[in-house]
Structure 1
């Protein structure tokens, strides 16, 4: 059995204690506190910089340019599509929507009435004596009369209302969130404004006569049905006007 030398053991222990408790030198302390070196890897599109050869870099630059060009082309195509949609909704002669856009808006307002229970009124307008104007002064004067009516209506409605040319000498107006009584009064006011606002043709002022009808639509009405009901009311009004003129 080997017996350890007590003197040697004590010396060894003392050496360990001295090594463990000895304060570090200034240089050793700086070395210990210095941050470890970290090697960063720069990546481009997931490709480490070490693998990014000139040919790969050129291909990436080309690809980015092509993507940017495609994005610009797509934005231009979307803008053009919106422009074409706007043109498709506008009347070809007057600065108001056409029948297509009017029916779509009417459908939207019917859905609004169904959801919120807020009634709205549609007004159907037919100009009288347009044939007389065309035959007497020419079709240019007739177009001027249509423009006169379109502007008069547009200038006297709210931003939530809609005026459109339905075709020929017929116009439609959607009076948003207007019940039967409110819609009827507003329609009377618009018709009176058109009649009372003179149209000048060849230096002579002319009154534009019209007939109109209104219909306050319900949530279960179809757009064409609501428009047909207003059209029927307009024809009843036209007959009444003719009857009054015959009596006079």
Structure 2
């Protein structure tokens, strides 16, 4: 064998042997970085989203919502606050798993409504308990017409424990001006929602928020809409 060729081959082999650990180390580093990146993404999502419904949580709603309010191209905007009427009664009648299903279904319908082209991909979130909030851009129709569309979405029947159920939801809806404070708009929407919820307790059959009929096992409750445009609205005490 040619000595020069032998030396060249030996040098090449030595180079490969020396480079292989570096290559393997680099590959391990890439995999570790990818795994850490995925874990960070999961942690960030968990910190900003409600674990039950998958919607943004209160903190994420106010952070992202402030950006939407500041974007004049998205106006006019409406702020919406809603909660499920008689939620404790739903838990008592059907169980807590069914109550969770009501929250998940409500969240899914809100998210679908926010993604409707007519609302320009608005923002919805679960604030806590059975209370939800939304910030929606009005592009088609008046705020009242948009409230009617939201009512239709939320009033669709759902099935719980083998029964067809419609759930009453009290809704407060207010306009949001460019440059307004989101917290103020949510406060006014919250006050409008509680006024609507207070009307539920009036002695009228329609005020019943959970009624079970013998056939065809339909649990029904009306959906009510509250509206306000006055920044001086105060929040009433929560109806029980």
Quote how far apart the aligned CAs of 1:147 are.
2.1
Contact 1:121 1:179 in 2 (8 A): no
Partner of 1:169: 130
CA offsets per residue over residues 116-135 of structure 1, 9 Å max, x none? 47232121011111111112
Structure 2: distance between partners of 1:204 and 1:58: 70
Contact 1:96 1:164 in 2 (8 A): yes
- Per the alignment, do residues 61 and 125 of structure 1 end up closer, same or farther by CA in structure 2, a change over 3 Å counting? same
Contact 2:68 2:74 in 1 (8 A): no
Q: 1:98 aligns with which of 57, 76, 80?
A: 57
Contact 2:81 2:193 in 1 (8 A): yes
Quote how far apart the aligned CAs of 1:181 are.
6.3
Does 1:71 pair with 2:19?
no
Contact 1:120 1:174 in 2 (8 A): yes
Does 1:192 pair with 2:152?
yes
Quote how far apart the aligned CAs of 1:230 are.
1.3
Q: 1:136 aligns with which of 93, 99, 105?
A: 93
Partner of 1:182: 142
Quote how far apart the aligned CAs of 1:208 are.
0.4
Please state whether the residue corresponding to 1:230 is helix, strand or coil.
helix
TM-score, length of structure 1 as denominator length? 0.65
CA offsets per residue over residues 143-179 of structure 1, 9 Å max, x none? 122222222323333251233211111111221x327
- Per the alignment, do residues 169 and 236 of structure 1 end up closer, same or farther by CA in structure 2, a change over 3 Å counting? same
Structure 1: distance between partners of 2:125 and 2:141: 22
Partner of 2:111: 154
- Per the alignment, do residues 237 and 217 of structure 1 end up closer, same or farther by CA in structure 2, a change over 3 Å counting? same
Unaligned runs of 5+ in 2: 1-7, 208-240
Partner of 2:82: 125
Quote how far apart the aligned CAs of 1:106 are.
0.7
Partner of 1:109: 68
Quote how far apart the aligned CAs of 1:64 are.
4.6
Quote how far apart the aligned CAs of 1:246 are.
7.8
Structure 1 runs of 4+ aligned residues shifted over 4 Å read 52-61
**Cα RMSD (Å) of the superposition?**
3.1
Aligned length: 194
Moved more, 236-245 or 127-136: 236-245
- Per the alignment, do residues 128 and 88 of structure 1 end up closer, same or farther by CA in structure 2, a change over 3 Å counting? same
Partner of 1:42: none
Structure having the higher helix fraction is 1
Contact 1:180 1:215 in 2 (8 A): no
Contact 1:91 1:165 in 2 (8 A): yes
Partner of 1:216: 175
Partner of 1:206: 165
